Amino acid sequence: MRKPALKSLFLSSMKIYLDDSLYGPFLHPFTSTRHLSDIRVGILTIAEKWRLLTKANIEKYLDPPNSNDGWVIPAHLIPTVQNFRSILKVAAEKGNFQLIPNLMSITLPWHIFQLNAQAIEADIDLITAGRMSAPIPEGTRVIAPERIFIEPGATILMSCLNAAEGRIYIGKNTLIMEGSLIRGPFAACEAAVVKMGATIYGGTTIGPYSVVGGEIKNSILFGYSNKAHEGYLGDSVIGEWCNLGAGTSNSNVKNTGGLVKYITGRDRIPEIAGQKAGLLMGDYSRSAINTSFNTGTVIGVCCNVFGEMPAKYVNHFSWGKERYIFEKALQDIANWKKMKGHELTTAERITLNNIYLSTQ
């Protein structure tokens, strides 16, 4: 039987099953609280990229589904305008995804910041196709204005945007305050805030409803997180509902210039990430003022980090060097969520309880 054309398939009611059984376990701490396809890399999450590209029904699985009504695609693959047809073709034929050229994928947590600049550029192609940018506001100093896309409702006040080395995306209802210096590739997602005088280098994504200030380079805040004050964040990934206290900084390069290793679990063997590797912080974690994070540090879910320089691996539900009392942790999360007009959901409580019990 002749196979229908891809065009008719991906616009039909077929389903795409995103399966994170292959690499979900290796993306600690971010997949402790989310499906792999809900990781944000570039502007969108992987699942959002698939929805926008295909208009298909997207379902997420922790284990491969036994289904003939759609394609099973590994969730770590990053679709782009250029490669998604090749991915769909291989999925329909149950072929080898490794044969697709120039295929971006996330198999380890530091790949998120290592691929972010490339993913920002790819997402701008996807999001802005056939659309026109809102006008650049008066008083904004720009370099390469044709490479800047501004969504309706964004506010940019007397700042400098340099898109010569990478495109810039300013999302809906974002606020770029006075004196901000931004170089592309850069993305500010919906309702993000860049505070006065921020210095932001390429490869950086400010996730939805996040607030940032100080100096940031090649880093991602997934969403609803704050790095609102002075301090340096470089080559790092910050989960959702995190807060970095004033003066918090991380190292991203060893004084020796040598290779940086991460420990991504209590019993894991250190793995080399490259010469530049910063902070990986799981959801709902926070640092006190003037906290200093060493090169290649991993902070688990729901940690309150304070005191002397933290260890390079901090387990879930740590309160300094003690165990976070569970009900106290939930109350603190609820307090932080309330500041942005949200509440702790039943689903979140269940997920956090499972993590807490698994790390006793």
What CATH number is attached to the domain comprising 219?
2.160.10
Question: What DSSP designation does 269 have?
Answer: P
Q: Residue 326: its pLDDT value, please?
A: 97
Query: Which pLDDT score is estimated for 14?
Result: 74
pLDDT of residue 61 exceeding 90: no
The number of domains in the chain is: 2
Query: What pLDDT is attached to residue 1?
Result: 28
- The residue whose two tokens read 């380079």 is 217
Average pLDDT, the chain: 93
- Domain assignment present for residue 157? The answer is yes
* Average pLDDT over every residue of 241-248: 98
SS3 of residue 51 by DSSP? helix
Are 196 and 328 found together in one domain?
yes
Q: Residue 304 domain-assigned? A: yes
Region 165-184: what's the mean pLDDT?
98
Range of the domain at 24: 14-94
Instruction: Give the pLDDT band of residue 8 (cuts 50, 70, 90).
Output: very low
Q: What is the pLDDT of residue 138?
A: 94
Do 84 and 163 fall within a single domain?
A: no
Q: Looking at the domain assignment, is residue 311 inside a domain? A: yes
Are 134 and 67 in a shared domain? no
CA pair distance 352, 342, nearest whole angstrom: 17
User: Residue 190: is it exposed, middle or buried by C-beta count within 10 angstroms (0-12/13-18/19+)?
Assistant: middle
Across 10-14, 59-63, 280-284, which has the greatest mean pLDDT?
280-284
- Interhelix angle 84-93/46-54, rounded to 10 degrees, is 90
Kindly give, in sequence order, each residue whose CB lies less than 8 Å from that of residue 48, ignoring residues fewer than 6 positions away: none
* Same-domain status, 210 and 315: yes
Whether the pLDDT of residue 5 is over 70: the answer is: no
DSSP state of 98: G
Share of the chain above pLDDT 70, in %: 94
Mean pLDDT of 230-253: 98
Are 203 and 136 found together in one domain? yes
- Averaged pLDDT for residues 282-294: 98
Domain identity same for 156 and 246: yes
Q: What gap in Å lies between CA 114 and CA 111, rounded to an integer?
A: 5
Same-domain status, 69 and 147: no
In a domain, 86, yes or no: yes
User: Does 166 fall in a domain?
Assistant: yes
Contacts 24+ apart (CB under 8 A), 356-360: 356/302, 356/316, 356/317, 356/326, 356/329, 359/300, 359/315, 359/316, 359/317
- Do 86 and 232 lie in one domain? The reply is no
Residues 60 and 157 in one domain: no
Which is nearest to 183 in space by CA: 195, 200, 170, 158? 200
The answer to whether residue 122 sits within a structural domain is: no
- Express each pLDDT in 107-127 by its tens digit: 999 999 999 999 999 999 999
34 shares a domain with 171: no
164 and 73, same structural domain?
Answer: no
**β-strands 249-250, 220-223 pairing:** unpaired
Q: Are residues 60 and 145 in the same domain?
A: no
The answer to the question of residue 115 being in a domain is no
Residue 16 · residue 6 · CB < 8 Å: no
Q: Does residue 112 form part of some domain?
A: no
pLDDT of residue 94: 85
